[in-house]
Amino acid sequence: VIRRRTPHLRSRRVNAVLRVVASFAFLPVLALADASTHPAPPGVDEAAIDTTVSACTNFYRHACGGFLKTAPVSERTPRRGLFEARFDNNLQHALDRLFDSDANDAELVRLATFHRSCRAAQRETTPADDAYLARWFARIDSARDRTAIELLARQLDAIGVEPFFSYDAAPDPADWTRWRGELGAPILYAKAVTVAPALEISGLAPAHARDAAAVIEAMALRLRAARDGAGERPVETLSWQQLESRAPGFDWAGYHTQFGAPSTRPIGVPNVDYVVEAARVLRDAPLADLRAYLRWRLLLSLRGELPPKYAPALSTLPPSLRGTVGDVDGRCRDATVRAMGVEFSRQFSKRIVGTDARNEAHEIAERMRRTAIGAVQRADWLSDDARRAMLDKLARLDLHIGFPDRWPATGRYALTSSFLENVEAARRFEQQQKWKRTQERRDRASWQEKVYPWVGDGMASARLVLPNGFPDAYSNSLVMTAAMLMPPQFATDAPEEFNYGTFGTVVAHELVHVLELHMFGTDGRPAELWSADDTQRHDARMKCVVSQATAFVPGPGLHNPGDRQADENVADLAGVRLAYEALAAGPRETTRRESQTFFYAYAQRQCLAQTPAELARSIDDDSHGPAEYRVNGPLANLPAFAEAFRCPSDAPMASPEAALCRVW
Ligand SMILES: [Zn+2]
């Protein structure tokens, strides 16, 4: 039996670690009007610095103050990051070039066709997209009995809507080299504030839309209660026959034959109560309610691709589901990632990032690994056994930097000028790939593991065009996406100390997560590498990290939850030190100016303008600390910082020796 805290049922903590910079990708892409339309080169942004604040008093306010004072934030755009804005600008610039770059490359032509259909459909609602949705609504409305409803649900499964059950590949605990199927619950969002306007826009009369929204919301609440009722528990391994007896009344045989899976292979079921309740809903809910629910599930699943007339409804979605609303560039970039993520990532990697950047980034990442190995060797609080295990784990960690050499398969389906038809064709292909994967061996070299953040489902979602870095606990690997290897984060012509301060600190941060994930072995299998004493000594050291963060005041009346941020704060604390040590270990001595560049690069990557409401919201639900703390906290604990800026010993940014926190 596998408990939570293992990969099969991720604990909230592991989830948080895997998410890393997930929130980044959901931000609305900034309108380019207020950003430069030229690619921003990497380097310290002089204009962002506020010289009226001393570096030794508050380095975040010093390095970012100029930006914070001028960045326009509002209720509509409640947050704006210096690097995010520069990155979005650079990315859009790169993509505009990409789509026109080579008419002889068939893959590029397919991408351009898809992207063009998106732009036309997202500028204004097209008759083709209206007709596409109308055809699905008509099919749903014509389902007259439960068999027809189940059949329809399967047809929706085939295009990735998965109205009642999600079915995906997860590592097989019985054979770690294989995938197996996992039957889970889809996202269960159905608040009437979104559902009612969405249904009305889809063609229902206002009163009908309101009534249907109430029914849908109640159905989702019922399913949610079943899903969350029993709390966290182990993933169950069940055969389809066993599932049949646990959740009767649903055509499980019909359901699973669509995956082409031999019925003898058991599957993982993280939440049997949900599955039982969903089968019951399909058996006892009025047919009209089920039809309304399916209509909503189709709209929710296509929320990133719906025509612009749906924008008023989409803007009421919670931020984690909203994606980009009302911006053609951003919506079409994300839609292309979702539909043709592998093609998009491959072209982006090959033509925009390139192997020189990958080689150089790989070299930096290897140096970070060596520095982390040194830190583990010096961690005197670890037992010998634990140290050996951690060193082995680090040595065998796969560094997936930028992009793979071997790419997952891509489809040959026809693409037309009809956007939603194209989306459906791409989803159909991806869904087949996903289902096929449940039968396959796990192949580390192909980067088949999910690449977060979640902008799309499955591996179409190579998603390497989105900046992200994370450890993949299941395979003991670390992924840094191709987008991390372009300005403003990284450039082959940027000074080394700059790349170390941005890209290098992110790699080091992720390496610390790898160290902290001591409940996974060298091959990613659940295995405790520490003794109870190791854990106890680690937790004792973490108290310092927690109490420093708790003492930080993010704003008037705000409390910083240091305990909830501990995993991220320790990764920041050790990450920036390791990256600096790696830089300083280079062949020649680091000058004071180079050190300063490193620290500016680190800080400016975090510059983030926020409305007070957004700051309060992020403190409530982000596992990372506020940007100001993520800069000042770790740097005040690093004597090299105070040295680089010649801070007096009583300066706020120069913690006395006795007060320094150190875990790794
Ligand atoms: Zn992290």
Share of the chain above pLDDT 90, in %: 72
**What is the distance in A from the centroid of ligand 1 to the CA of 511?**
9
- Distance in Å, CA 477 to ligand 1 centroid: 15
Distance 210 CA to ligand 1 centre (A): 42
646: left (phi over 0), alpha (psi -120 to 50) or beta: left
Residue 569 Cα, ligand 1 centroid: separation in angstroms? 8
Distances in Å between the Cα of 547 and the Cα atoms of 550, 552, 563, 569, 632 are 5, 9, 8, 11, 15
The token duo for 102 is 């080579």
Please check whether residue 62 is in contact with residue 44, taking contact to mean a CB–CB distance below 8 angstroms: no
**How many angstroms separate the alpha carbon of residue 571 from the centre of ligand 1?**
6
- Residue 481 and residue 500: Cα distance in Å, rounded? 16
Q: What is the pLDDT of residue 304?
A: 93
Output the pLDDT for position 448: 63
459 Cα: distance to centroid of ligand 1 (angstroms):
22
- Find the 38 Cα to ligand 1 centroid distance in Å: 31
CA of 612 relative to ligand 1 center, distance in Å: 23
pLDDT for position 554: 94
The predicted pLDDT at position 533 comes to 97
Give the least confident one: 53-57, 97-101, 566-570. Answer: 97-101
Look-up of token digits 């390791």:
578
**Cα of 17 from ligand 1 centre, angstroms:** 5
Q: Are 152 and 294 in contact (CB under 8 A)?
A: yes
The SS3 call for residue 205 is coil
CA of 308 relative to ligand 1 center, distance in Å: 35
More confident residue, 171 or 18: 171
d(CA 56, CA 58): 6
In 3D space, the residue among 93, 157, 553 whose CA is nearest the CA of residue 333 turns out to be 93
| pLDDT(101) > 90 | no
| Residue 95 CA to ligand 1 centre (angstroms) | 28
Q: Which of 147, 188, 189 is nearest to 165 (CA)?
A: 188
Number of continuous H segments (helices) and E segments (strands) in the chain: 27, 9
State the distance from the centre of ligand 1 to the C-alpha of 509, rounded, in angstroms.
Answer: 6
Using the mean position of ligand 1's atoms as its centre, give its distance from the Cα of residue 237 in Å.
31
CA of 445 to the centre of ligand 1 (A): 24
Angstrom distances, CA of residue 78 to CA of 30, 82, 607? 12, 14, 14
Task: Say if residues 8 and 270 touch (Cβ distance below 8 Å).
Answer: yes
- Find the 481 Cα to ligand 1 centroid distance in Å: 15
Per-residue model confidence as pLDDT tens digits over 253-300: 999 988 886 668 899 999 999 999 999 999 999 999 999 999 999 999
| DSSP-assigned beta bridge partners for residue 183 | 167
**CB–CB of 652/58 below 8 Å?**
yes
- Statement: residue 28 has pLDDT above 80: no
Q: For the segment 513-526, what is each residue's pLDDT rounded down to a tens digit?
A: 999 999 999 988 88
pLDDT at 23: 31
Least confident range from 36-45, 90-99, 548-557: namely 36-45
Distance in Å, CA 160 to ligand 1 centroid: 30
The count of other CB atoms within 10 Å of the CB of residue 358 is: 18
CA of 512 to the centre of ligand 1 (A): 8
Tokens 């099969």 correspond to what residue?
A: 8
Question: What is the Å distance from ligand 1's center to 577 Cα?
Answer: 15
Cα 291 to Cα 96, 136, 246, 287, 298: the distances in Å are 41, 11, 25, 6, 11
Q: Quote the ligand 1 centre to 223 CA distance (angstroms).
A: 32
444-493 per-position pLDDT tens digit: 776 765 554 445 554 445 678 888 888 888 889 898 999 999 998 899 99
Q: Residue 400: what residue type?
A: H
Q: From the CA of 348, how far away is ligand 1's center (Å)?
A: 25
The CA distance from 221 to 216, in Å, is 9
Q: Distance, CA 358 to ligand 1 centroid (Å)?
A: 22
- Burial call 119-153: b when 16+ CB within 10 Å, e when fewer: bbbbeebbebbeebbeebbebbeebeebebbbebb
Instruction: Give 479 Cα–ligand 1 centroid separation in angstroms.
Output: 12
Average pLDDT over residues 634-659: 96
Task: Name the phi and psi angles at 74, rounded to 5.
Answer: -150, 180
* Ligand 1 mean position, distance from CA 334 (Å): 23
pLDDT band at 599 (very low <50, low <70, confident <90, very high): very high
pLDDT score at 641: 98
Average pLDDT, the chain: 89
Residue-wise pLDDT for 192-211, tens only, equals 999 999 999 999 999 999 99
User: Distance, CA 572 to ligand 1 centroid (Å)?
Assistant: 7
pLDDT in tens, 268-277: 999 999 999 9
Q: Give the strand pairing for 477-481 and 267-269.
A: unpaired
Place of tokens 């989702």: 220
User: How much distance in Å is there from the Cα of 568 to the middle of ligand 1?
Assistant: 5
Quote the ligand 1 centre to 99 CA distance (angstroms).
Answer: 33
Q: Does the pLDDT value for residue 179 go beyond 60?
A: yes
Residue 449: predicted pLDDT: 59
Omega cis (within 30) before 488: yes
Q: Are 485 and 464 in contact (CB under 8 A)?
A: no
Model pLDDT, residue 656? 92
Mean pLDDT across 544-552: 96
Mean pLDDT of 45-51: 94
* 371-429 pLDDT per residue, tens: 999 999 999 999 999 999 999 999 999 999 999 888 888 999 999 999 999 999 999 99
